[in-house]
Chain A
Amino acid sequence: MTYESTYSEEMRRSIEKVEETRDRRLKEAFPRISPEEKDKLLKEWHPDYRPEGKRPLKIGPSKGLIVPHEVADLIEAYPLIDPSNIDLSKIDYDVDILIIGGGGAGASAALWANNSGIPADRILIATKLRFGDANTKMAQGGIQAADRPNDSPILHFIDVMGGGHYANKPELVKTLVENAPFIIKWLEDLGVMFDKDEEGNMIELSGGGTCRKRLHACKDYTGLEIMRVLMDEVLNRGIRVVEFSPAVELLTEPDTGRVTGAVLWNLETKEYRIARGKAVILTTGGFGRLHIQNFPTTNHYGATMDGVVMAYRVGARLRDLDATQYHPTGAAYPEQIVGLLVTEKVRGLGAQLVNADGEQFIYPLEPRDVVAAAIIRECYGRNKGVITPTGMRGVWLDTPMIEMIHGEGTIKKSLAAIYRMFSRFGIDPTKEPVLVFPTLHYMNGGVEINVNAQVLNGRGEPILGFFAAGEVCGGVHGKNRLMGNSLLEVTVFGRIAGISAAKYVQNVEPGKLSLKHVNRYVEMLKEAKIPPTRKSPILLPEYRGEKVLSRAISLFAI
């Protein structure tokens, strides 16, 4: 069967130029960017550096912190519930450890709380959608750990700090890198199928901004493989998971400010339930579905920053929320998959980024923010991008190069997910390059924690009973996360949160429950003259057609 391209004619003409330059480019190494040029590039072209896109927060422990408008809109917003309608005397779930969020961090926390001696039936994971519906599942390329002889946690540390523009919290980075090899071993022992050679050595690749090959992968389904193994183990142990029950507000002890539980809301029955936990671990993930600056996103359906909103209301300090990560290579064509992730592993295996004329314009494995800015500059500054029939702009990611470098069949084997995603729409990445453009990917900042995964308040002190791990936290990655450190963060800090929380609950009684902090927050909002029209958390993004929404009405009160 002959392959028929589904690209438009204009795009095909550009591809021909790409094919012409390919042989020459195979031997060509594009020079790495100098620190000065890097600063200029980011300032001029990275979406984060557009001051019009952000504003300072008006209220709360991190008043004055610059954040994107979409984030501020949710933080400067009123609660969904009216505390006077919530009966806190009837407790529906009474546990030692309440985990809010069922992704990689939540599952890791649950397992390690159990490993630390908390019985399975005293742990509860409350999740908004299904258990495992999280950004963890969609991570493709790999998880970092410095476990080869020519590598070390020292180098890993330096990579993370440099990639994060030195804005990272150093002790968190130290925790991340020195726990990394242990986490890999833990996952290996759980049965995760890492790519290995015949002797059992891990096959490790380079990622953007890494000075050594230390990305461990499971083909290009790394996140899926890790998440499903963790899920399997959590369920094997009988740890309870309640699905389709997002938390809409945390509960606190009025005098101490200790976090003591959460109000859960059943998405299907609209019933609210009170969950009390001696310790509460927040693992709610990121904010891709807020579509910062109108970018499409790689994130899952529920990534609406609920955790940051709720944590801020109990006094958590936020940091680095001005740093939004745009993954440089989101799919840009066809229209049906715009924004979906094309893993960095593709570049790790040798594919180059090429403009409409078939020329390279940036070293493919610079840190993500640099590559993203470079692509935006190429498309909108230098106008050397490809334009699709729907007006979307992008550059080529020259995937056929991978087959030439590593042999025929490499893409089908090691990049099965990408191959599948494009094949479904008639594009064969082994034969033709794919079109990419930056897409909203990761929340670099978030709730601030210490090395014990305790959430810190505005004064830098731990909030009693409150822990957090994963994308919801800030400080680990500074202003820009490296590939493979997110899967690492959720497991390292998920584990630490589980262990810390388990230790904490040994010596405490269940706390008192109140929504007083919500009342106080509402007062602050009123004082700052925030209009009551905005409410948060939003739980799910609104994608219904405008035509329908304009005629949709609610006929019943509940």
Chain B
Amino acid sequence: MYFPGCTLKTTALNYEESALAVARKMGIDLIELDRWNCCGAVLNLAIDSVIHHIGAVRDLVRAQEMGRKLNDNRLVTLCSMCYNVLKRVNELLKIDSEKLKTINEFMDEEENYECGIEVLHFIEVVRDLIGFEKVRELTVKPLNGLKVAPFYGCTLLRPKEIGIDNPENPTTLENLLEAIGAEAIKFPHRIKCCSAYNVVYDKKIAVDRALEIRKAANRWGANVIATTCPLCQYNLTLPSRRPSIPVVYFTELMAYAFGIENVLNPEVRKVISSLLGEDVK
């Protein structure tokens, strides 16, 4: 089952399209949840205010209902923020039975949530379910010459309890990039925070941080940054001083490598093409 999240349906449609196409190529069927609501993003993790968890729990209940029909309890997300929220709420309720009871009693119009859903980020699915060997096999256009700086996005790695990889020294994105033929640039800022919602409260922080990250990627020789989260993508490309460097989603690179670049947003496609030195079709 697939949980899109609000941003994927509005400003990050390209992320969703590339991911669904890539998934199909790898033999995975991502089925969108029938009815879903905003997970609430980070605000839903305020632990003393139970009502803020409700949105995320409702999505888990929907997954529980749909999962019964599909006989599958896995809920995949593309947005790292959504992943973080859904997974953390899920884990919280698994250990705090009081909170689970309170929430279930409040949400009396839904069935009780039984904590049986497994929340996954799409990149985990690629890594663990499909495996990078398969990714290598499916690569028809190795992205030789592309120097990609992986930007994990902090919500994918932290807190440790739900991170998909070692928060200090992850390897998932690097291995993936290698599998699709690109050169992974392991720059130190790859595990830093893009500054997340600070962009709303104090834009200067976000702009400065983004500049720092781009400068570093540039210094280390990258010609493109690959990310897993629409908020990171937004923050890193905030207009400001040079250097500017394209920021794409890892699924968009995969789509190009798999030879299905026709699903890509034309802008993104052009960027990758020209970086590879190919003629733009």
In-complex A–B contact (CB below 8 Å) = no
B residues at A contact (CB < 8 Å): none
